[in-house]
Structure 1
Amino acid sequence: MDIKTIAPDLSVSSQITAQDVGIAASQGFRSVIINRPNGESADQPDRTEIEGAARRHGMEVSYVPVVSGKVTDADVEAFDKALHELPAPALAYCRTGTRSATLWALSQAGHLSTDAILKTASGAGYDLSGLRARLDARDKAADGEIGPVKSHDVVIIGGGAAGISTAASILKRRKGVDIAIVEPRTEHYYQPGWT
């Protein structure tokens, strides 16, 4: 087993064994994505062995088999869906790890630049430069899905007391200004009010 980190939520590896699953679980992996079709070679463990070992270690499993050299858009969508549904971090594997890295790369087109994807893959030991045209095409296709970008006159990061009072101050001085406040929390407690 040769685990290579691709992203915080995903690492890829060459073929693993049932024993490797326990090692992966001890390293904090919470799920396994199997990208190697069953029966690809005689020395390959059956996927049911890997699935059984993963479940014994409390890991979830997704089987997204991909034929070497024939990664389809449907394969990419299935991989992306598994990656988003399974608990992270996930360990994806195939014979050498290249198919798993390729699936990740293609799933990131439209989210990351082609150069960033290729650099990340290269840093993990996978030369995916042959995918450049396909990554660029997927990136361009994704641009059409985004739609118009909403803009504001002022964007305030942080919706706490300071952010809200800054917005109020701006609105008091410039009526009708379009202000957006970015805040991930759904509740805010005005702490001075507690005293």
Structure 2
Amino acid sequence: MNITEITPSYSVSPQITVGDVATIAEKGFNSIMCNRPNGEDPGQTDVEEIRAEAERLGLTFAFVPVVSGSITPENVIEFKDELAKLPTPVFAYCRSGGRCQNLWLLAGNAR
């Protein structure tokens, strides 16, 4: 996993697997957010498998799917609303981590 800390309460990463969830929990994250639509690429780990493992380990999970290169104002609003509900620190992932970072910036979280 290649984790990029945006702030102490929000980090991003490329696609994760079910096996990565325990490491995410061990690193002290309290929530995981997926910003990648299910089935975007063949072989991509299903979001519900990751959600199930996250919840089994006591992490809060949010799914705000965003199409690569097509972030809409509605996506930003949904992201901001979900982010406000999640216990921090939050670990967000998509294909490369770029969407997660762009959503953060568009939601007005840049410092």
TM value normalised by structure 1:
0.55
Note if 1:65 corresponds to 2:65. Answer: yes
Cα distance in 1 between the residues matched to 2:6 and 2:78: 18
Q: Where do residues 1-150 of structure 1 align in structure 2 (5 Å cutoff)?
A: 1-108=1-108, 112=110, 116=111
Which structure has the greater CA radius of gyration?
Answer: 1
The alpha carbon displacement at 1:18 in A equals: 0.6
| Gap runs ≥5 in structure 2 | none
C-alpha distance after superposition, 1:35-69 (max 9, x if no partner): 00000011100001100110111001010000000
- Structure 1 segments of 4 or more deviating over 2 A? none
C-alpha distance after superposition, 1:54-106 (max 9, x if no partner): 01110010100000000011111111111110100000100000000000010
Q: State the one-letter code of the partner of 1:90.
A: V
Alignment RMSD: 1.1
Cα distance in 1 between the residues matched to 2:73 and 2:9: 21
Cα distance in 2 between the residues matched to 1:81 and 1:22: 26
Count of residues paired in the alignment: 111
> What is the SS of the residue equivalent to 1:11?
strand
> What is the SS of the residue equivalent to 1:18?
coil
Cα distance in 2 between the residues matched to 1:104 and 1:12: 10
Cα distance in 1 between the residues matched to 2:37 and 2:100: 12
TM value normalised by structure 2:
0.96
Cα distance in 2 between the residues matched to 1:105 and 1:40: 23
Q: Which has the higher contact order (CA 8 A, sep 6+)?
A: 2
The percent identity for this pair of structures is 46
Cα distance in 1 between the residues matched to 2:7 and 2:81: 16
Structure with bigger helix share is: 1
